[in-house]
């Protein structure tokens, strides 16, 4: 196999960056496995409990970039207790001990502490990039350590984390010698910001491309920042609370005109709508627009803004845009690839701002659309069939009908046929979220047609175990299956235990699986961690025979090569 010396092969491997491809390469032969493992710099770990840091480092000693994901996806929706797990500290400790040259760390749904951030900041001289998504457990003190100690920090990207803001001076902890920042995103911090420190930091960061401010940055500061950083590509404007008659606003308008590299815009938490026009001069360059937190922006101001954004590829918006607004998007944004429409009225009070019509309009107008997340009040099979015909290229299709078991609002039928059309037409579909009234039939379609499906989210759907079985049997590439409030039980769970070897994880909550079913599974599959999460009822943990028939409230199972984890809290029972 090796006609070339190892160095040449290694050089070839350098061009292979996707971790899936790298994994495939390493399976070809022993020699390639060896070359690949020493040359791999970026490692992706989708479940931090599938492996431990020691084994990771044994295999990839030249690791420079690590991505770790912790809690299951449904933790985002409060279904997993905070202390379930996903602790970063053991990883940092192990990496620090091994003296690996860590440069980048990307974390999602992990519990990060100030202690771990401090250790991180002190242990890796070349540390450059920290990206935290949906993490929690730390404060601005931890950020201060990063700022102070990471001499070559390039990226500090905090996305939607829960950070205790001690209103401290973390921004002023960046030394004057720190001039390497490329990304600074602290939009999720709630507290006041040291504006002087921020402005000085931005002024001495000529490479700064992405700056996302929190809501505490007032308009005049924003204007000054933009003057300092006209090279900015990605801007989060924070609250953008302003007065159109103020001098600050005029300065801002002037500054914006100079930001000719600006491609991505977000924030606008408190924005007064008529001040959006300040951005009109650069809208024609925008490829990404996130107005999903801009509760105040709707109606004609929003439409006008969008009409300027002809090159938009990614749009995140609130449903207050309405079907009419989506029609404008459809006719303007011909390059649109990703759309997310979030609900603006979170108590579900009956706001029917977007319906199936908006979705159909988008599908008709945007031929390049491949990812969609759509919250709406109603849907029809006919609409979904049309969408499938218009957009056979969907990779991600997530539909959330706010009333979880609502049928087709015209025919009162389940939405099986509609989703069936989607999976049949979209041959590259990798991620699917279902909602509305659904029977076992939709799962038959999914099993039959969704050959590339890797992640499936099911809620309040199906009638019998057959539903789940169709999916497990049919979707060969399934990686993550998450199910809540659906009548699937032990029969489906146990039908094909070896299937779970090919999957990353399975989540089932408020389904029909019983304790004895889970125990049987755990017995048959020692390479699985079968976790039962029982928060409130310790009686559930009884070992008695007849108690085994009790239903398990939350089940989370995942393949692992390192056995039962040691850090599980008492309410998690690993079988």
Partner 1 sequence: MSYRLLRVDKEEPGLKERNYLGLSDCSSVDSSTIPNVDKSNLNFKATELRLGLPESQSSERETDFGLLSPRTLDEKLLFPLLPCKDNASATTGHKNVVSGNKRGFADTWDEFSGVKGSVRPGGINMMLSPKVKDVPKSIQDERSQAKGGGLNNAPAAKAQVVGWPPIRSYRKNTMASSTSKNTDEVDGKPGLGALFVKVSMDGAPYLRKVDLRTYTSYQQLSSALEKMFSCFTLGQYGLHGAQGRERMSEIKLKDLLHGSEFVLTYEDKDGDWMLVGDVPWEIFTETCQKLKIMKGSDSIGLAPGAVEKSKNKERV
Find the shortest distance in angstroms from Cβ 9 to partner 1. Answer: 43
Find the shortest distance in angstroms from Cβ 269 to partner 1. Answer: 5
Residue with smaller CB distance to partner 1, 320 or 386: 320
**Greatest pairwise CA separation for the chain in angstroms:** 75
The DSSP result for 79-141, as a single string, is -S-GGGS-BSHHHHHHHHHHT----EEEEES-B--HHHHHHHHHH-TT--EEEEES-EEEEHH
User: Closest Cα to residue 481, out of 573, 556, 554, 414?
Assistant: 556
CA distances from 447 to 409, 471, 489, 495, 507 (A): 26, 5, 18, 15, 18
Find the shortest distance in angstroms from Cβ 188 to partner 1. Answer: 7
Tokens describing residue 387? 């969408």
User: Closest Cα to residue 91, out of 114, 109, 116?
Assistant: 116
Residue with smaller CB distance to partner 1, 74 or 397: 74
Asked whether 369 and 340 are in contact (CB, 8 A), the reply is: no
Residue with smaller CB distance to partner 1, 245 or 543: 543
Residue with smaller CB distance to partner 1, 209 or 215: 215
Find the shortest distance in angstroms from Cβ 106 to partner 1. Answer: 18
CA distances from 404 to 190, 378, 401, 434, 513 (A): 32, 10, 6, 9, 21
DSSP 463: S
Asked whether 60 and 101 are in contact (CB, 8 A), the reply is: no
Asked whether 191 and 215 are in contact (CB, 8 A), the reply is: no
Find the shortest distance in angstroms from Cβ 482 to partner 1. Answer: 10
Torsion of CA 39, 42, 46, 47, to 10 degrees: 70
Residue with smaller CB distance to partner 1, 74 or 394: 74
Find the shortest distance in angstroms from Cβ 170 to partner 1. Answer: 18
Give the CB-side neighbour count of residue 132, counting CA atoms within 13 A. 28
Find the shortest distance in angstroms from Cβ 315 to partner 1. Answer: 16
Q: What CA–CA distance (Å, rounded) separates 194 from 216?
A: 9
Find the shortest distance in angstroms from Cβ 164 to partner 1. Answer: 9
Q: Helices 299-307 and 322-332: crossing angle, nearest 10°?
A: 10
Beta carbons within 8 Å of 469's beta carbon, 6+ residues apart: 491, 492, 495
Q: Helices 356-365 and 381-390: crossing angle, nearest 10°?
A: 10
Find the shortest distance in angstroms from Cβ 460 to partner 1. Answer: 7
Find the shortest distance in angstroms from Cβ 31 to partner 1. Answer: 45
Q: What CA–CA distance (Å, rounded) separates 500 from 453?
A: 15
Residue with smaller CB distance to partner 1, 82 or 479: 82
Sign, CA torsion 352/240/140/167 = negative
DSSP 552: P
Tokens describing residue 172? 């002023």
Residue with smaller CB distance to partner 1, 43 or 492: 492
Asked whether 421 and 388 are in contact (CB, 8 A), the reply is: yes
Residue with smaller CB distance to partner 1, 425 or 555: 555
Tokens describing residue 466? 């057959």
Tokens describing residue 124? 């890796």
Q: Cβ–Cβ contacts within 10 Å for residue 569, how many?
A: 12
Residue with smaller CB distance to partner 1, 7 or 537: 537
Strand partners, 528: 559
Find the shortest distance in angstroms from Cβ 359 to partner 1. Answer: 16
Residue with smaller CB distance to partner 1, 150 or 533: 533
Residue with smaller CB distance to partner 1, 204 or 519: 519
Residues of this chain that interact with partner 1 (CB under 8 A) are 74, 76-79, 81-83, 134, 160-162, 188, 269-270, 292-293, 295-296, 342-349, 351, 375, 400, 402, 404-405, 433, 457, 459-460, 484-485, 487, 510, 534-543, 553, 569-571
Find the shortest distance in angstroms from Cβ 569 to partner 1. Answer: 6
Residue with smaller CB distance to partner 1, 43 or 575: 575
């Amino acid at each position: 196999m090796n006609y070339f010396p190892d160095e040449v092969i290694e050089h070839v491997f350098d061009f292979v960056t996707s971790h899936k491809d790298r994994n495939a390469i390493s399976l070809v032969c022993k020699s390639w496995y060896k070359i690949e493992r020493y040359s791999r710099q970026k490692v992706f770990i989708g479940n931090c409990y599938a492996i431990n840091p020691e084994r990771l480092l044994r295999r990839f000693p030249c690791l420079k970039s690590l991505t770790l994901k912790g809690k299951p996806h449904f933790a985002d929706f409060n279904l997993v207790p905070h202390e379930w797990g996903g602790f970063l500290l053991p990883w940092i400790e192990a990496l620090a001990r091994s003296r690996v040259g860590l440069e980048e760390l990307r974390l999602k749904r992990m519990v990060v502490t100030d202690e771990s951030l401090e250790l991180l900041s002190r242990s890796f001289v070349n540390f450059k990039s920290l990206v935290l998504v949906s993490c929690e457990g730390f404060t601005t003190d931890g950020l201060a350590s990063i700022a102070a100690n990471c001499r070559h920090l390039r990226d500090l990207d905090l996305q939607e984390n829960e950070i205790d803001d001690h209103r401290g001076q973390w921004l002023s902890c960046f030394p004057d010698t720190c001039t390497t920042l490329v990304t600074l995103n602290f939009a999720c911090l709630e507290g006041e910001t040291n504006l002087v420190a921020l402005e000085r930091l931005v002024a001495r960061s000529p490479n700064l491309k992405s700056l996302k401010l929190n809501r505490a940055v007032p308009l005049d500061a924003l204007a000054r920042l933009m003057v300092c950083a006209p090279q900015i590509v990605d801007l989060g404007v924070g609250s953008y609370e302003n007065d159109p008659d103020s001098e600050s606003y005029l300065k801002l308008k002037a500054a914006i005109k100079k930001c000719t590299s600006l491609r991505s815009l977000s924030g606008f938490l408190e924005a007064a709508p008529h001040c959006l026009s300040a951005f009109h001069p650069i809208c024609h360059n925008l490829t990404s627009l996130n107005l999903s937190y801009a509760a105040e922006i709707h109606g004609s101001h929003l439409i006008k803004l969008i009409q300027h954004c002809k090159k938009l590829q990614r749009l995140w918006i609130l449903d207050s845009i309405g079907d009419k607004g989506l029609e404008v998007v459809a006719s303007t944004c011909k390059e649109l690839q990703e759309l997310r429409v979030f609900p603006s009225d979170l108590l579900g009070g009956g706001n029917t701002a977007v319906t199936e019509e908006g979705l159909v309009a988008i599908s008709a107008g945007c031929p390049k659309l491949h990812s969609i997340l759509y919250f709406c009040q109603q849907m029809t099979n006919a609409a979904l069939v049309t969408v499938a015909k218009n957009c056979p290229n969907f990779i991600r299709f997530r539909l959330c009908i706010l009333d979880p078991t609502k049928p087709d609002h015209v025919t009162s039928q389940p939405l099986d046929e509609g989703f069936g059309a989607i999976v049949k037409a979209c041959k590259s579909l990798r991620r699917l979220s279902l909602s509305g009234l659904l029977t076992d039939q939709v799962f038959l379609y999914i099993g039959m047609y969704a050959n590339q499906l890797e992640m499936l989210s099911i809620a309040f759907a199906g009638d019998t175990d057959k539903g789940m079985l169709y999916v497990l049997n049919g979707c060969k590439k399934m990686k993550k299956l998450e199910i809540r409030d659906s009548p699937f039980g032990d029969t489906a769970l146990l039908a094909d235990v070896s299937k779970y070897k090919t999957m990353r994880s399975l989540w089932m909550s408020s389904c029909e699986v019983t304790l004895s079913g889970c125990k049987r599974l755990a017995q048959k599959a020692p390479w699985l961690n079968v976790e039962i999460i029982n928060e409130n009822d310790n009686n559930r943990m009884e070992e008695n025979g007849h108690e085994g028939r009790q239903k398990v409230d939350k089940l989370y199972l995942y393949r692992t090569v390192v056995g039962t984890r040691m850090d599980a809290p008492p309410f998690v029972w690993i079988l």
